[in-house]
Amino acid sequence: MSCSCNEEHVNPLIPEIVVIAEMRADTQDVTTFRVTKPGGGKPFEHMPGQCAMISVPPLGEAIFSITSSPTQKDFIEFSVKRCGEVTEYLHSLEVGSEIGVRGPYGNNFPVDDVLKGKDLLFIGGGIGLAPIRSVINYVMDNRENYGKVDILYGSRTPGDLVQSEDIFENWPSRPDTKVHLTVDHETEGWDGHVGFVPNYIKEIGFSTDKVALICGPPIMIKYSLQTLLEIGFKKEQIYTTLELKMKCGVGKCGRCNIGDKYVCKDGPVFRCDEIDELPDEY
Domain boundaries, the chain: 16-105, 120-241
Question: Could you tell me which CATH number the domain at 16-105 has?
Answer: 2.40.30.10
Q: Identify which has the larger pLDDT, 259 or 210.
A: 210
φ, ψ dihedrals at 18, nearest 5°: -130, 165
Can you tell me whether residue 65 is helix, strand or coil?
strand
Q: What is the pLDDT of residues 71-128, one digit of tens each?
A: 999 999 999 999 889 999 999 999 999 999 999 999 999 999 999 999 999 999 999 9
Is the pLDDT at 3 greater than 60? The verdict is no
Rounded Cα distance between 273 and 231, Å, is 17
Cα 210-161-126 angle, rounded to 5 deg: 65
φ, ψ dihedrals at 247, nearest 5°: -125, -60
- 247-274 b/e with 16+ CB inside 10 Å = b? bbbbbeeeebebeebbbbbbbbbbbbeb
Lowest mean pLDDT among 26-40, 122-136, 202-216, 256-270: 256-270
Query: Measuring CA to CA, how many Å separate 21 from each of 95, 99, 134, 282?
Result: 6, 11, 19, 36
Residue 258, strand partner residues = 261
Average pLDDT, the chain: 90
Residue 274's pLDDT band (boundaries 50, 70, 90)? confident
Average pLDDT over residues 274-281: 74
φ, ψ dihedrals at 126, nearest 5°: 60, -135
User: Is the pTM here over 0.75, yes or no?
Assistant: yes
The CATH fold assigned to 120-241 is: Rossmann fold (3.40.50)
Position 240, amino acid = T
Task: Name the burial class of residue 155, with classes exposed (0-12), middle (13-18) and buried (19+) by CB atoms within 10 angstroms of its CB.
Answer: buried
